[in-house]
Structure 1
Amino acid sequence: MAGLTAAALAVVAFLAYQASATVPESPEKPAAAAPSALPSAAAAEAPRQDPLAVPTGSGTGERVVYSLAERRVWLVGADQLTQTFPVMPSTVSPQPGTYEVTSRSGRIQGSDGVEIEHVVRFATVDDVSIGFGAAVDGSMSSPAPDGRTGGVRMKRADGDAMWTFATIGSKVVVVP
């Protein structure tokens, strides 16, 4: 029995060592490509108790919160969650920071040839417009890795909610 306990402790110690060896000595802060940056990346990387809860460090007030790592959007009205849903990012993403909705289009053709509705644009990265939208055919497939597009796709019902919520000038907060 003592041998099993010693072996288990050795395995746990080894795994703890491996985990600590992969942690950077000082976390890098993301460069802000927007008017105002978010708190340090270390605060945003803390484990989340409820993955559907609005991320801490995403600001206050009415806003759209877009998590790059979680591939999820939260619509927050007056500091109360209105809706949350998964999204499929494209090949070009904005840096974490605070943006605002700059333009909207009711219906366009996406760069992949798919018809997109309820497009809400909020950023530009290297001449690529970044925005939320829903494919009219309901698809949310991963984009072709060789293209440079900025469409963040969502289901049609979620696109309807985004369209109603995020008007010109609405705040969009991108978190890591």
Structure 2
Amino acid sequence: MPDLYADDFRAGMKINEASFLHLYECYWKKLYHLAFKYLGDAFQAEGVVQDVFTSIWQRKSTLVLDPETAENYLVKAVRFRIARKYNDDIRKSRRIEELSVRQSEADNHTEETLFCSFLREEIDRLVTRLPERCRLVYQLSRQEGLNNREIAVNLLISEKTVENQLTKALKVIRKGLGKYQAD
């Protein structure tokens, strides 16, 4: 640093308008190049350097810089801002990715729910087309949860007839849903 402000620096540099402008004029370009080297973006580099000098000005009443280490302080402040920017960018990227995954899962869940609802309706439509006894056996088995023996007792038919009717109902339903099977 030039000796122009040597009196200000003897016991440490208290920030005032003159010392602030001196720091700015001496180090702005160097700090900008450092920030640009890491960020690769002129606008972001300018913003980082501006943030450092804004912070210094806001803390002017309490901040005292040693003239021997003022440059090191400024370089570290710029590096710290860059590191914080990288961390913020990483956090934002992760958050966006997480939201994207959640949205995708929600979309898939909605799609699956709609498809299941559609299949339920299609199965119900196919069941209504079954012959009466076949439909009744299927409904007692699948909707009421009765086993073959209980169905046979309720309908006064043999267990073999229940098996045959269920096989017939499932065959009709599978055939009706065949056009919806995934390749």
Same fold (TM over 0.5): no
Name the TM tier (shorter chain). Answer: under 0.3
Instruction: Tell me the TM-score normalised to structure 2 length.
Output: 0.25
Task: Decide which structure has greater helix share.
Answer: 2
Larger Rg: 2
Instruction: Tell me the TM-score normalised to structure 1 length.
Output: 0.26
Q: Compare relative contact order (CA 8 Å, sep 6+) and give the higher one, 1 or 2.
A: 1
